[in-house]
Chain A
Amino acid sequence: MSERNLSGFRVSRAGPLALLQDAGRFGVRHLGVTQGGPADLHAWAWANRLAGNAWGSGVLEITVGGLELIAERDLTIALTGADLGIKYNGQAAPRWRTLAITIGDTLTFGSPVNGLRAYLAVAGGFRGDTVLGSAACVVREQLGGFDGQGNSLREGDTLTVNRAEHLPAEQAAPESEQPDYRQTAVLDLLPGAQIAAFTGRSLFDAFNAEWQVDQRADRMGVRLSGPRLQCTIGSLVSEGISLGAVQVPPDGQPIALLNDRQTIGGYPRLGNLTPLAASRLAQCMPGQTVRFRAAGIDSALRRHRQFVQDHK
């Protein structure tokens, strides 16, 4: 087998959604191409770090569960993010730590116990087909992933990996970095955009009410339900939308826009969730409660820089 096509796993059972994600696709949004990349940057970055990989290496993002993988070689891996009732050869799989596995071993993803999206990194990184500068898999755009066509993993797929240049030291993420995703999430929001056009009552509600995560939630965005927010602007001429933007359509129920959002849109916005807040929201199950907290730019930037530097 050539170096280019090292088979790491075979998919023995496909789940509803399992996607290859590197850091995302940049420099192409003016062409209508979205960002992609991990919905939960925090868990994705930890997976790579524990597997000894450089920032941006390809990781599997498994949403909801249902996936079963069989190792096709000896590998060093790390599982982070949601607890999807993951089994390693039938036993509860260790999460948030480096793990050496052997050819023939199985990883089985069940269903959500705590959080929604699990991340599987392998030392060396998964190797996808780079399209427009990235292997990030965006189903809607038919871009990226292992075959370049934006497909979720299917039964029988072979998942290619890069040969690891060195094996990582065995390590674990500290407990404090392993979120309990079932807790009420407090999401840092950087005010901006049309926030001044919302009524005073609506601004009070936005930051004081409890918001429920709606069923309509995916990698494009997460709808929230709660008090009806009123904006003096109904709709705008469409304009660029950045990660974490919280838009409010005329029904007054906010939608936080995530990695696979459309590149432009025309609803007024309260501002943007920080990248780590967007990550946290991406782990929430429908019906879960979240709150918004107004964040200052300086502290939010400091926290973001620190997080990324720690994982590079």
Chain B
Amino acid sequence: MKTTPVPCLERAGLDGWMVRLFDRIEESNLLWLTALADDCEATFGDVLIDLVPSYTTLLVVFDPFRMTPCEARQQLIDILARLTPGQTGADGKLHELPTWYDQRTGPDLQRVADLSGLSIESVIEAHSSRHYRVFALGFAPGFAFMGLLDEALTCPRLDTPRQKVPAGSVAIAGRQTAAYPVVTPGGWNLIGRTTARLFDRNREGFSLLRVGDRVSFVPVDQAAFEAQGGDITPANRESGQ
């Protein structure tokens, strides 16, 4: 179902406006949100400090020495008045992330299988057979929230987060999936590991994934995973560790 935005603007401090376009998560939101972000970049130019897109909103942060909130608001109203969504399919770079799904790298595969009533093989099949959209980045540099997951795989976060989730871990929670760019604590269900470098401070653009991009997880075996530099050190089986 296509939704048309009913925008509203909410004050976000001295130097920001929150542009709220939708009230629930739909993949089609991204076509509007990326179009809005593009127009803001072009219109605000170097007065723009930061843009933070997320599932239903765009936070616009501007230079409060060169523009008042009132002026910024008027610009946003003008942008919203002429806003049209981007074209379906034409947007969003596709990334294929080589992923070794295994109980050593994905210690929660069995839990997900148990919760879904599927075999481990079917869980892997269900996870790797879709293209996901990046809805938002946050939590850590380069951490992309992607969806939507096959409804059958929906599972809650761990009751107790792991203290250390290995870098590259591919994980699911709710109807979302993600890959951890660096070692962090984390409460999502680990089902595999990718060799993709998700965040690299020396790369142009730094983050592999951007909001609006499409992602597919491509199963590889251990040999291919290792050949591509993958770290096979097992993740902690128990949460809270």
A interface residues with partner B (beta carbon < 8 Å): 26-33, 131-132, 140-143, 148, 190-194, 237-245, 262-265, 271-272, 274-275, 297, 300-301, 304-305, 308
Contacts and interface: CB of A to CB of B under 8 A. Distances in A.
Interface string B54-74: 111111010011001100000
A29 B54 CA distance: 11
A132 B142 CA distance: 13
A193 B37 CA distance: 20
A265 B139 CA distance: 9
A-B residue pairs, 3 tightest by C-beta: A240-B59, A240-B52, A192-B11
B186 interface: no
B125 interface: no
Contact of B65 (A239, A244, A245, A305): A305
Contacts of B51: 29-30
B206 A272 contact: no
A262 B13 contact: no
A237 B175 CA distance: 13
A191 to B, nearest CB: 7
Interface stretch (B14-22, B92-100, B227-235): B14-22
Interface string B11-36: 11111101010001100000000000
Contacts of B236: none
A44 B10 CA distance: 30
Contact of B18 (A141, A148, A239, A262): A239
A274 B69 CA distance: 13
Given A29-B50, A237-B25, A264-B138, 6 more contacts: A30-B137, A31-B206, A237-B57, A238-B138, A242-B12, A271-B13
B138 A190 contact: no
Contact of A238 (B49, B55, B69): B55
Given A132-B201, A264-B52, A242 B182 contact: no
Contact of A31 (B10, B15, B20, B142): B142
Contact of B49 (A27, A32, A300): A27
Contacts of B154: none
Interface of B: 10-16, 18, 20, 24-25, 37, 49-59, 61, 64-65, 68-69, 136-145, 182, 199, 201, 206-207, 210-211
Given A29-B50, A238-B138, A301 B68 contact: yes
A308 B65 contact: yes
Contacts of B57: 237, 239-240
A274 B138 contact: no
B54 A32 contact: no
Contacts of A304: 14, 64
B188 to A, nearest CB: 14
6 contacts: A31-B137, A32-B137, A32-B141, A239-B57, A243-B13, A275-B13
Given A27-B50, A30-B210, A142-B182, A242 B141 contact: no
Given A132-B201, A238-B54, A238-B55, A32 B139 contact: yes
Given A30-B53, A32-B207, A272-B13, A141 B65 contact: no
Contacts of B56: 237, 239
A239 B201 contact: no
A39 to B, nearest CB: 16
Interface centre among A33, A143, A271, A305, by most chain B C-beta atoms within 10 angstroms, is A33
Contacts of B52: 29-30, 239-241, 263-264
A240 B201 contact: no
B13 A26 contact: no
A131 B201 CA distance: 7
Given A29-B50, A32-B141, A132 B206 contact: yes
A143 to B, nearest CB: 7
A275 B14 contact: yes
Contacts of B141: 31-33, 141, 143
Nearest to B70: A297
Nearest to A27: B50
Contacts of A265: 138
Contacts of B138: 32, 238, 262-265
Given A190-B11, A245-B13, A30 B55 contact: no
Contact of A240 (B58, B144, B210): B58
Contacts of A264: 52, 54, 136-139
A242 B61 contact: yes
Nearest to B201: A131
Contacts of A141: 140-141
B24 A301 contact: no
